[in-house]
């Protein structure tokens, strides 16, 4: 029946309408600062209507959470074409940081905020993140197969590498980088990434 299909489409259209409005406001005014009423006003519906399409505010956040991971995976997908594992590893690190700089709001959602985590026991959505991490482990293993990172556990090493790039992103994102005022932050981050790459190469 085409009528059920139409209903389904309408439903998804409404969800997208809500999510887009929410996204815009979240980016504009931050997170806690955007109310359900504000979202409702933007799409010209009653606040109660939103609850017909999303269980609560957290559901909205979780949807954006997954969308963030899809974007990141899309952005980093092309890197699988890089043949040399070490080069790929370094490129992944740079792409990761770049993503966080270009989409700080998504990044915060994905890796910093507490909200999207709680009540998300199921790794169903979160699985996308685990997948990205596993591709990191894979590339580390490939590097090891070529004689690098000898005597290191790939999992632990991958975690350290992740920590390193995440640390850069998080300090920037949470504005703690601002205690450093002697040089521009872009330079700081660029240099840190260069050193990071240099270290990986030398190990």
Q: How many other CB atoms are found less than 10 A from the CB of residue 29?
A: 12
Q: Verify binding: residue 11, DNA, rule CB under 7 A.
A: yes
Q: According to CB under 8 A, which one of 13, 119, 195, 201 is a site residue for a second copy?
A: 195
Stretch that binds a second copy, among 47-55, 63-71, 98-106, 168-176 (CB under 8 A): 168-176
Residue 36 contact, options a second copy, DNA, none, Cβ 5-8 Å cut-off depending on partner type: DNA
Name which position in 54, 96, 107, 111 contacts a second copy (CB under 8 A).
111
Nearest to 134 by CA among 64, 73, 201, 78: 73
Beta carbon of residue 117, minimum distance to DNA (angstroms, whole number):
15
Q: How far is the CB of 173 from DNA (least distance, A)?
A: 22
Q: Hey, what are 107's tokens?
A: 């990044």
| Tally of CB atoms within 10 A around 83 | 7
CA–CA separation, 63 vs 17, rounded Å?
13
Helix-helix angle 104-111:85-102, to 10 degrees? 110
Contacts to a second copy from residues 68-107, by CB under 8 A? none
51 binding partner (options a second copy, DNA, none; Cβ < 5 to 8 Å by kind): DNA
């Amino acid at each position: 029946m085409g009528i059920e299909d139409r209903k389904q489409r309408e439903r998804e259209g409404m969800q997208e309408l809500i999510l887009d409005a929410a996204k815009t406001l979240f980016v504009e005014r931050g997170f806690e600062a955007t109310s359900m009423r504000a979202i409702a006003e933007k799409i010209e519906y009653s606040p109660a209507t939103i609850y017909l399409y999303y269980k609560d505010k957290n559901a909205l956040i979780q949807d954006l959470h997954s969308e963030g991971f899809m974007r990141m995976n899309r952005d980093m997908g092309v890197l699988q074409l890089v043949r040399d594992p070490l080069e790929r590893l370094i490129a992944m690190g740079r792409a990761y940081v770049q993503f966080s700089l270009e989409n700080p709001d998504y990044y915060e959602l994905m890796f910093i905020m507490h909200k999207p985590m709680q009540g998300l026991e199921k790794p169903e959505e979160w699985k996308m993140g685990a997948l990205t991490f596993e591709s990191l482990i894979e590339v580390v293993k490939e590097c090891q197969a070529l004689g690098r990172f000898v005597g290191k556990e790939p999992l632990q090493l991958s975690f350290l590498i992740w920590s390193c790039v995440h640390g850069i992103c998080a300090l920037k994102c949470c504005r703690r980088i601002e205690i450093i005022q002697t040089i521009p932050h872009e330079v700081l981050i660029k240099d840190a990434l260069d050193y990071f790459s240099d270290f990986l190469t030398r190990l």
